[in-house]
């Protein structure tokens, strides 16, 4: 059996294993999130209490169990493992950082599930590849297959996983040799996931849309507006990271402080907490029209701030979904402003 055929065979196995693992991940998240939500509804006191507890537990899990000891965006760990370690990631890092991400998000931290799903998928592929004594090049290939399978399942979008495998690891190139194996893993993972969890999309589709309805001026202006906000988001996120790196306090206290800030802001603006799927759905569906311009501006600022606090103060998770949240808010805000 040559290397190419082996990769195709392994991609099938990885697609199946990662899909069931992602379902398990999602079930744990759903259970913890429902428990936290019930406490939030029971008393507003828990909105302030739960995030510091969640952030602290998340930090301690990574600090005590993982090998690399780095919290924050899980996607970075996946990319680093592919580029610098030939797709190797330890079992301790996979399990601890995945669990830390789930706890961070379910307790109110602003982050995305794509981070832990990528990490879990890549980690499972890395584990299987090491047990089968694969060569570094093969291990890198199936590592991307696993990561793309995890992303495909959690987003219910196989193309998303495939494009990740092709493009994300590079700045100016595509991992063309991974296309077919990653496609197989992503499609298998997606089919199994929706067969068990349902095919309802995370975000609504706009069925009554026609390209002829596009106003090019507003399209360009909205794109420029969104780009400026995105640049601000990046700079602000990095500024918070730089500030935290210079603080000499106990990291556990920093995590608790970050959770307390999230809880206090969440008390007044609960829409900024957690993954934010419901709010993104409302913004894309057009329900934002019930909100005022002032509310959307405040929501945008707080979401950027809370996300930066979550991922720089000891929490873990993905940064992609918060970016979509910010983009959707900017689009809704622009439409309201343009109609004045």
Q: Residue range 156-184: average pLDDT? A: 72
pLDDT in tens, 191-213: 999 999 887 776 666 555 555 55
pLDDT in tens, 20-29: 999 999 999 9
Q: Tokens for 301?
A: 């600022």
Quote the pLDDT of residue 29. 92
Q: Which of 113-122, 161-170, 197-206, 212-221 has the highest mean pLDDT?
A: 113-122
CA angle (256 as vertex; 252, 258 as ends), nearest 5: 115
Q: Which CATH architecture has domain 3-197?
A: Orthogonal Bundle (1.10)
CA–CA separation, 296 and 313 (whole Å): 25
Q: Which residue has the higher pLDDT, 332 or 307?
A: 307
Radius of gyration, CA atoms only, the chain: 20
Residue indicated by tokens 């302030």: 48
Contacts of the segment 65-71: beta carbons below 8 A, 24+ positions apart: 65/92, 65/95, 65/96, 66/90, 66/92, 66/93, 66/96, 66/97, 67/92, 67/93, 68/93, 71/97, 71/100, 71/311, 71/314, 71/315, 71/316
Buried b (16+ CB within 10 A) or exposed e, 196-223: ebeeeeebeeeeeeeeeeeeeeeeeebe
pLDDT in tens, 46-86: 999 999 999 999 999 999 998 888 887 777 777 778 777 77
Residue indicated by tokens 């969890």: 197
The answer, yes or no, to whether residue 94 has pLDDT greater than 70, is yes
Residues carrying CATH 1.10.3080.10, the chain: 3-197
């Amino acid at each position: 059996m040559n290397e190419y055929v082996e990769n195709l065979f392994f991609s099938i196995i990885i697609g199946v294993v990662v899909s069931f693992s992602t379902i398990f991940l999602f079930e744990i998240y759903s259970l913890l999130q429902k428990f936290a939500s019930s406490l939030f509804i029971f008393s507003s006191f828990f909105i302030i209490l739960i995030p510091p507890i969640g952030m602290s537990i998340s930090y301690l899990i990574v600090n005590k169990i993982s090998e690399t000891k780095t919290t924050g965006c899980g996607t970075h760990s996946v990319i680093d493992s592919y580029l610098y370690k030939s797709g190797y990631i330890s079992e301790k890092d996979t399990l601890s950082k995945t669990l830390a991400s789930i706890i961070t998000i379910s307790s109110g931290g602003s982050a995305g599930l794509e981070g832990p799903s990528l990490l879990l998928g890549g980690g499972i592929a890395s584990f299987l590849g090491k047990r089968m004594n694969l060569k570094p090049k093969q291990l890198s290939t199936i590592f991307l297959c696993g990561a793309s399978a995890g992303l495909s399942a959690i987003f219910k979008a196989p193309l998303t996983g495939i494009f990740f495998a092709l493009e994300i690891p590079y700045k100016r190139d595509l991992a063309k040799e991974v296309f077919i194996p990653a496609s197989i893993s992503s499609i298998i993972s997606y089919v199994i996931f929706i067969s068990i969890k349902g095919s309802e999309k995370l975000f609504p589709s706009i069925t009554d849309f026609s390209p002829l309805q596009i106003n090019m001026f507003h399209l360009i202006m909205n794109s420029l507006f969104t780009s400026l906000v995105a640049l601000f988001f990046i700079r602000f996120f990095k500024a918070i990271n730089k500030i935290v790196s210079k603080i000499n306090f106990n990291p556990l206290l920093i995590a608790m402080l970050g959770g307390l800030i999230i809880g206090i802001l969440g008390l007044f603006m609960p829409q900024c907490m957690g993954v934010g799927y419901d709010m993104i759905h409302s913004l894309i569906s057009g329900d934002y029209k019930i909100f005022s311009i002032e509310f959307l501006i405040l929501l945008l600022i707080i979401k950027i701030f809370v996300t930066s606090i979550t991922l720089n103060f000891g929490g873990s998770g993905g940064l992609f979904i918060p970016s979509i949240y910010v983009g959707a808010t900017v689009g809704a805000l622009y439409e309201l402003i343009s109609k004045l």
